[in-house]
Amino acid sequence: MVLTIDIGNTRTKGAVYEYDAMVDYFVTTETQWQKKVSEILEKYPKIEDLVVASVGKTQEAAVEIFRGRVKIHFISHENRFPFVNKYATPHTLGIDRMVLAAGSVLKFPKQNRLVIDAGTCITYDYTDADDQYLGGAISPGIKLRYEALHSYTARLPLLQKEIPDDAIGDSTASAIHSGVVNGAVNEIDGFIDNCRKRWPNFIIILTGGDSEFLAKQLKNTIFANSNFLLESLHLIFQFGLDDQ
């Protein structure tokens, strides 16, 4: 059995895999993830491998406490990935984006693929049918957009995300919801449309914490999987890691 962990900017997510099936899943906070991992290891004593991707502040030493119980695999730029990285600055490419790109290559072979991760940031990552990673884009996520409007203005309130009733907001709150949510939806649809001008056929994978919230708002047909990063970690593990 394998435990995959995604340590993000705001949350930590994990999944337990037995062969190709996810048998358990959790979401926890930055301060509680070690306790949760301990509970999972107690619950599933057959777990032998822990596969970790981190873009948050957590240091490797915090994961090393589990070294005696499982074999730990930190995903880094030094690992073997199933694509050719065409990024102009490859070592600045986030591990989360590399993992998602790898997952798309392994799950959807011989296809063009666009992975959209709607989390703290909205990231776009494109790999072609020849398994070349070509790049993508980064923009603020939905929560960041709400927070920016509140933090950088004098009077706008901090709101929780909500699907707007109308594009024309008739109050400050509804105008904010329309601007934030419709702005993100139009951005995503626009990015997809721009990609189609260059590549007519590609599969679209939408993932991340806000994927389900956004999925029904998009005009484009997508493959929505909020846990695609965890699945991608498992696929990379199966693909084979060059661990030190």
The question of whether 96 is a catalytic residue gets the answer yes
Count CB atoms within 10 A of the CB of residue 102: 26
Is 120 in contact with 10 (CB distance < 8 Å)? yes
Cα(223)–Cα(207) distance, rounded to whole angstroms?
9
| Structure tokens, 34 | 């070690």
Instruction: Write the DSSP assignment of 77-140 as a string of letters.
Output: TTS--SSEE--SSGGGS-HHHHHHHHHHHHHSTTS-EEEEEESSEEEEEEE-TT-EEEEEEEEE
Give the β-pairing of 71-74 and 132-140. unpaired
Say which of 6, 20, 49, 96 is annotated catalytic.
96
Cα(238)–Cα(241) distance, rounded to whole angstroms?
8
Q: Alpha-carbon dihedral of residues 146, 152, 155, 158, nearest 10 degrees?
A: 20
Q: Residue 110 corresponds to which amino acid?
A: K
**Residue with the two structure tokens 């024309």:** 168
Q: What amino acid positions are annotated as catalytic residues?
A: 96
